[in-house]
Amino acid sequence: MSTRRRRPASIAGPPTARGAQRTEPVESFRTRARRWLKENLPPAPQNYRWYGDDAQWPRARELQKILYEGGFAGICFPREYGGLGLTAAHQRAFTEESMGYEMPLSLNVPTFSICSPTILDLGTEEQKRKHIPAVLKGEEVLVQFLSEPKGGSDLAALTTRADRDGDVWILNGSKIWSTFAFAADYALCLARTDWDAPKHRGLTMFLMPVHTEGVTIKRIRQTNGSEEFCQEFFDNVVLPADSVLGEVNGGWAVASRQLFHERNAVGGGSPYVSGARPRGGGEVTDLVDLAQRSGQLADSRVREDLGETRAMRLVEEQLIARVTQAIKAGTMQPHASSILRLFHAETVWQQVDAALRIAGAVGVAGAPGHEQEQGEVGEDYIYRQASGLGGGSTEMARNIISERVLGMPREYAADRDVPFRQVKTGR
Amino acid sequence: MVHENSVLLALEYDFYSGVRQMDLELTPDQRLFQSTTREYLDRSAPIGTVRELAESGTGFQRDWWRQGAELGWTAMLVPEQLGGGTVSGSPMAELAIVAEEMGRTCAPGPLTTTSAVLAGLVRAGEAFADTIGSIVSGDSVVAWAFYEPGRGLDLTRFSVTAEPDGDGYRLSGSCDRVESGDQADAFLVAAQSPDGPVQVLVRADVPGVSVTPLWTLDVVRHTALVRFADVAVEPAAVVHRGADATAAVEAQLQVAAALAAAEMAGAADRTFEFTMQWMFDRYTFGRPLASYQALKHRMADNKMWLEACRATAVAAAKALDEDPGEAAEAVSAAKSFVGSKTPVVIQDCVQLHGGIGVTWEHDIHLYLRRVTLDRALYGTPEEHRRRITDLLDRSAA
């Protein structure tokens, strides 16, 4: 079966014969995926920490290559760029079937779900043909260079600059919070190219190589011990003219697409994500185990915490289904994905808090018979707010929901329509 | 800074999209049913009428309920051969439409309790065709009695005892929180016999039955205490025995809980709409309330909770339509989630109204009363959370 599905090496080769007119029914796709997964992928590693070690990167590329060759890569990506051109329902079926297997999960965000769809939306034909098939084969990892040390939510106030010099652009400045930049090949980097235009109108997006002369990458250690985030320093980095993604000074439109795809990905509504990992705070069944180990499973308050946690998870799935369906049908605007982003934070917070209550003392200090395993509950709690910050803060989500979804008046902005050169900035 | 016209246009757009969004989950026939139900409720039970009913101490008017029955409110759960029928084959989804619309107007009426009763009676088939027929026509109202006075939800034991008497029983004991008990013609009573649980039909006017209306937080949705003093139950009035009774009370609870969730979602949704309108109309320091970020963020949160409430209420009804044997978790998730979130959302809307929000004159307390009642009946959020954990335990074992 997998032999029949094996695709030719040429980048544009569609996964099935061109003559095939009808889309494969989801259930038949699911059955085929189940069989293929069983034969081709190893079981998911035990105690998988999502911010695992650096070895996950070559491994992810390897796994992705296996998926590509088996005909299960890029399920919702267009066929002309090496994807399968199938529906979100096919992708969901595959993700469900893949749960017990080792998957290249680290490629999901931002490579598959944010950067690639943005290139598909706004890239040139050449950019799409160069990057998308490479991504789906596991040969290219993408990253976002957006936020800067001087400002988080106010992205458009960035001060990294790209100056035109004949045929090339010269990049200077610094970016931060780029996820796993050290492991990436290309970045979507937003830089200021016109200082006399108001802030949103003087930006340009560059599709730049990460490991090139003039780029220095520093890793940042998070409170949970992970080192997934990086800061980059640009010192006269030379970029060719065709590295512009979208229009010169039209970078905000590109960034907006990225932010849209990012909210979808963080909220769980992205069709480009393949495979899934346990949410922060662990699965509900882990909480049941935790309650058992801490001897509190019979306590009715603990049982309420467990039931509430399970209910939140179910409601989150139901909400994702409702909102993504409505956005697709056009009855809700795309901005409504911010509702999912906000709800996801609430779900994690509820779960992390419940875990801390259930663990009691063993969540914060070792005790005979309780190893550091339970301490992960405490570590998750320390890192709790990350789910309200990454992928755009919950405050920004509330702005979007109130202003764009509910139509409430926009906030006053001192920098609106002011040439960026004249806008006040902090230190 | 504030451009009122664009703001109001945007507001209309959202309400429009909100309505369309609900429609998305409905078939054309269900959409028609929804608008018919909404029109009938707007005409026959607007909030002013609800206030009049409250002032006069009337729960609901029987003619009004009969007309609702003609619209199909009592037919959904009943097979066609027993005089029922659905709009397009999804009984709970369609009943949830009625419940949601009732929430939007704080409508009176025994929808939840009669639906629970019908869900139980139809399991016993043709034997109760006459009773079912009179409930479907709206001519009689039968309320479900299962709560032990003063105690929480417990479907494993019932405080009313059923002493065997030939093939029938003699009932003793009492139930509280009998919804619309003051206006019911009969009760479906969950009771404990020496051989396990039973459910029996008891007319309200037979010797030994006494009904005491109880104080209830909602202004038109009444509850009652029903006492049974050695009441004779004929064999023909025994609806379920043993395992059948256990399965029936579980199914009835799920129907009632899912409808309560839908009603709360509707009530909170309507409250959110008029609160939003208020925030655009009310000016302070020269700006509408809607322009303050501190308040905008609260409405964003409220919007999120309400979308989630609607998502889970619809999912619970759908689960009951698709696989009633596996719907327990979806129903308890919906009842616990909607029951815990909607009162919080409406309380916040009260706060956003300022002083007018805590006056009797303003309608918002009617909505708050409705969700606070629905929150507690047919299982509190805490009780449903424990039910979910029981299910997790069972699947782990």
Q: Which of B307, B333, B389 sits opposite A322 (nearest CB)?
A: B307
| Cα B352 to Cα B251, B270, B289, B349, B355, distances in angstroms | 39, 15, 9, 5, 9
Do A38 and A118 lie in a common domain?
Answer: yes
Tell me the three-class secondary structure of chain A, residue by residue.
CHHHHCCCCCCCCCCCCCCCCCCCCHHHHHHHHHHHHHHHCCECCCCCCCCCCCCHHHHHHHHHHHHHHHCCCCCCCCHHHCCCCCCHHHHHHHHHHHHHECCCHHHHHHHHHHHHHHHHHHCCHHHHHHHHHHHHCCCCCEEEECCECCECCCHHHCCCEEEEECCEEEEEEEEEEEECHHHCCEEEEEEECCCCCEHHHHEEEEEEECCCCCEEEEEECCCCCCCCEEEEEEEEEEEEHHHEECCCCCHHHHHHHHHHHHHHHHHCCCCCCCCCCCCCCCCHHHHHHHHHHCCCCCCHHHHHHHHHHHHHHHHHHHHHHHHHHHHHHCCCCHHHHHHHHHHHHHHHHHHHHHHHHHHHHHHCCCECCECHHHHHHHHHHHCHHHHHCCCCCHHHHHHHHHHHHCCCCCCCCCCCCCEHHHCCCCC
Within a domain: A10? no
Residue A373's pLDDT is 62
- Dihedral sign, CA of A168, A173, A174, A175? negative
For residue B327, the distance in angstroms to the closest alpha carbon of chain A comes to: 12
Residue A54's pLDDT is 83
Within a domain: A183? yes
**pTM above the 0.90 mark?**
no
- DSSP secondary structure code for residue B227 in this structure: E
Gap between the Cα atoms of B331 and B280, Å rounded: 36
We report the CATH number of the domain holding residue A114 as 1.10.540.10
CB B172 within 8 A of CB B163: yes
Whether residue A304 and residue B386 make contact (CB cut-off 8 A), yes or no, is yes
Do A293 and A310 lie in a common domain?
Answer: yes
Q: Report the domain count for chain A.
A: 3
pLDDT of B322-352, one tens digit each? 999 999 999 999 999 999 999 999 999 999 9
Residue B151 has pLDDT above 60, yes or no: yes
**Which candidate, A65, A164, A80, A74, places its Cα nearest to that of A111?**
A74
Do A135 and A154 lie in a common domain?
Answer: no
- DSSP secondary structure code for residue B76 in this structure: T
Residue B23's pLDDT is 47
pLDDT of B191-209, one tens digit each? 999 999 999 999 999 999 9
Residue B238 has pLDDT above 70, yes or no: yes
Contacts of A326 in chain B (CB under 8 A): 21, 24
Listed in order, strand segments (DSSP E) in B85-160 are: 142-145
Contacts of A314 in chain B (CB under 8 A): 312, 315, 329-330, 333
Within a domain: A427? no
We report the CATH number of the domain holding residue A388 as 1.20.140.10
Gap between the Cα atoms of A66 and A6, Å rounded: 10
Whether residue A303 and residue B300 make contact (CB cut-off 8 A), yes or no, is no
Do A128 and A235 lie in a common domain?
Answer: no
CB A281 within 8 A of CB A355: yes
CB B334 within 8 A of CB A312: no
Residue of chain A minimizing CA distance to B287: A409
Q: How does residue B18 score in pLDDT terms, banded at 50, 70 and 90?
A: very low
| Cα B90 to Cα A67, B4, B126, distances in angstroms | 40, 43, 22
Residue B53 has pLDDT above 70, yes or no: yes
Do A287 and A397 lie in a common domain?
Answer: yes
Task: Give the domain extent around A61.
Answer: 20-141
Within a domain: A425? no
Question: What is the H or E stretch that residue B344 is in?
Answer: helix B328-353
Mean pLDDT of chain B: 93
Rounded to two decimals, the ipTM of the complex is 0.92
Residue B200's pLDDT is 98
CB A183 within 8 A of CB A57: yes
pLDDT of B68-93, one tens digit each? 999 999 999 999 999 999 998 999 99
Q: What average pLDDT score do residues B162-186 get?
A: 97
Whether residue B10 and residue A411 make contact (CB cut-off 8 A), yes or no, is no
For residue A344, the distance in angstroms to the closest alpha carbon of chain B comes to: 11
Whether residue B10 and residue A329 make contact (CB cut-off 8 A), yes or no, is no
Contacts of B13 in chain A (CB under 8 A): 407
DSSP codes joined into one string, B157-214: --SSEEEEETTEEEEEEEEEEEETGGG-SEEEEEEEETTEEEEEEEETTSTTEEEEEE
Whether residue B329 and residue A310 make contact (CB cut-off 8 A), yes or no, is yes
Residue B166 has pLDDT above 50, yes or no: yes
For residue B152, the distance in angstroms to the closest alpha carbon of chain A comes to: 13
Structure tokens at B300: 């964003």
Do A123 and A152 lie in a common domain?
Answer: no
| Cα A126 to Cα A81, A133, A278, distances in angstroms | 11, 12, 37
Do A137 and A223 lie in a common domain?
Answer: no
Ramachandran category for residue B154: left, alpha or beta (phi over 0 → left; psi -120 to 50 → alpha): beta
Chain A contacts in chain B segment 312-331 (CB below 8 A)? 312, 314-315, 329-330
Gap between the Cα atoms of A75 and A103, Å rounded: 14
Last residue of a domain, one of A141, A176, A210: A141
Residue B6's pLDDT is 34
Q: Which of B304, B312, B332 sits opposite A401 (nearest CB)?
A: B304
Gap between the Cα atoms of A50 and A53, Å rounded: 9
Within a domain: A113? yes
A&B contacts, CB < 8 Å: 151
Q: Which of A285, A315, A316, A319 to substitute to test the interface with B, most B CBs within 10 Å?
A: A315
Q: Does A406 touch chain B if contact means CB atoms closer than 8 Å? A: yes
Do A228 and A291 lie in a common domain?
Answer: no
Within a domain: A286? yes
Chain A contacts in chain B segment 19-38 (CB below 8 A)? 20-21, 23-24
Q: Does A329 touch chain B if contact means CB atoms closer than 8 Å? A: yes
- Tell me the pLDDT of chain A (427 aa) as tens digits: 333 444 433 333 344 444 445 789 999 999 999 999 999 999 987 655 544 578 889 999 999 999 999 999 999 999 999 999 999 999 999 999 999 899 999 999 999 999 999 999 999 999 999 999 999 999 999 999 999 998 778 899 999 999 999 999 999 999 999 988 999 999 999 999 999 999 999 999 999 999 999 999 999 999 988 888 999 999 999 999 999 999 999 999 999 999 889 878 876 779 999 998 754 445 677 888 888 888 889 999 999 999 999 999 999 999 999 998 898 888 998 899 999 999 999 999 999 999 999 988 888 887 776 665 667 888 899 999 999 998 789 999 999 999 999 999 999 989 989 999 999 887 6
For residue A270, the distance in angstroms to the closest alpha carbon of chain B comes to: 18
Whether residue B385 and residue A412 make contact (CB cut-off 8 A), yes or no, is no
Q: What average pLDDT score do residues B11-35 get?
A: 61
Residue of chain B minimizing CA distance to A405: B14
Distance of CA B387 to the CA centre of its chain: 19
Within a domain: A345? yes
Do A107 and A28 lie in a common domain?
Answer: yes
Q: How does residue B15 score in pLDDT terms, banded at 50, 70 and 90?
A: very low
We report the CATH number of the domain holding residue A204 as 2.40.110.10
Do A188 and A298 lie in a common domain?
Answer: no
Tracing tokens 């929430």 back to the chain, one arrives at B103
Q: Does A288 touch chain B if contact means CB atoms closer than 8 Å? A: yes
Gap between the Cα atoms of A30 and A303, Å rounded: 35
Within a domain: A256? no
Do A155 and A105 lie in a common domain?
Answer: no
Do A40 and A136 lie in a common domain?
Answer: yes
Q: What average pLDDT score do residues B270-279 get?
A: 97
Last residue of a domain, one of A89, A122, A141: A141
Gap between the Cα atoms of A6 and A69, Å rounded: 6
Residue of chain B minimizing CA distance to A284: B392
Gap between the Cα atoms of A99 and A285, Å rounded: 15
Whether residue A303 and residue B384 make contact (CB cut-off 8 A), yes or no, is no
For residue B310, the distance in angstroms to the closest alpha carbon of chain A comes to: 8
